[in-house]
Amino acid sequence: MPNEIQNGARREISGKPCVYYDGYWIKYYEPPKDSLAAKKLLIDALTHRLFNHVEHGINIPGYRLNQAREAYESEADPAKKRVKGAMLAGSLFNRAADIFRKLVELQEFGVTIDSNNSLMRECGNCLMEALEFGRSVKHINGDECIDELWGEPFKAFSIPVEDFYVSRYIKMSQAMRDIDKISEAMIYALNVDDLFPDINWLVIKFGEAAKVKCETLRSDPVIFDVWSTFVAAAESLSAIKPNFTAPPSEALLCQSDAGLRLIEEGKTLLTHISRARVAMPKSTQGYLMKCNSYHSDSIKAKESLKI
């Protein structure tokens, strides 16, 4: 279609520079000039972000890599082996970051570092192996793995910085798509009855705040307004109470409790997605099923009252 907006199109919207990807206008940030120093800063940031969003206890220093590998290879219990594999992934990840820091330091002293350098190859090998083991690492909510977070450092290492930024915008558009899906499912589920009359605008307000949080870097000066708006919207959603027009029956109390749990789970999932800035397909699909189930139960409850 001639009027269709192409991915990568840029436009200023309400004074904000934006770039378009897969249906969403996302705040645009100029990528730094491609260099080892820029990649180091990027990988450091991605390392911090990764360990902030995955299960605890796997941030093993790179100098303990041999210990981590031995612990993994000698473990026979499948459950413990998964965890030790996650710890090995963390150590591999940190080893790669350690090597990259030293390479940047050498470059700053005037030493030429090319892609065929043995340390560069070792760094890449560590990141690739970390990605392989990282597939079994769980998100901090314990529900699913986020492969995207483990793949980002290797991508930042292996492609130009500008291309990496493009890949991030695509992932943010996917995260925003899921934020919209979850918000719509919450409203759909909770509008069958009149237990939560304010739910529509509270969910919409929080969903929009979540998308703005998703697109905004922590280094951006507007983060103070963005983060406070996001937290305030989350607190307003958590503070919602059921509206009983008459003394509630036991069945109605059970239904309202289920509704409150659904709201809190939705708020938590939206928070995880907006902070990780990637889609969480398994968690999203599971939550959408819960919304459909609550919707069906609400309809049955209303019909039973008419009998």
Residue 1 has a pLDDT of: 45
The more confidently predicted of residues 264 and 110 is 264
DSSP string, 242-307: ---SSPPPHHHHHHHHHHHHHHHHHHHHHHHHHHHTS--HHHHHHHHHHHHHHHHHHHHHHHHHH-
Q: For the chain, what percent of residues have pLDDT higher than 90?
A: 51
pLDDT value of position 31: 92
pLDDT at 306 exceeding the cut of 80: no
Q: What is the pLDDT of residues 215-234, one digit of tens each?
A: 999 899 999 999 999 999 99
Q: Are 3 and 10 in contact (CB under 8 A)?
A: no
b/e code 172-207 from CB counts within 10 Å (16+ = b): bbbbbbbbbbbbebbbebbebbebbeebeebbebbb
Band (3; pLDDT cuts 50, 70, 90):
low
**Tens of pLDDT, residues 63-93:** 999 999 999 999 999 999 999 999 999 999 8
Q: What does the alpha-carbon distance between residue 236 and residue 203 come to, in Å, rounded to a whole number?
A: 9
pLDDT at residue number 146: 65
Q: How far apart are the C-alpha atoms of 157 and 152, rounded to whole Å?
A: 9
| Residue 139 predicted with pLDDT over 90 | no
The overall average pLDDT reported for the chain is: 88
Are 37 and 166 within 8 A, CB to CB? Answer: no
Q: Is the pLDDT of residue 304 over 70?
A: no
Please tell me the predicted confidence (pLDDT) of residue 267. 96
Residues with Cβ within 8 Å of 24's Cβ and at least 6 positions away in sequence, in order, are 172, 173, 176, 177, 211
Q: What is the mean pLDDT of residues 157-183?
A: 93
pLDDT band, very low/low/confident/very high, at 145 (cuts 50, 70, 90): low
pLDDT band per the 50, 70, 90 thresholds, residue 297: confident
248 or 272: whose pLDDT is higher?
272
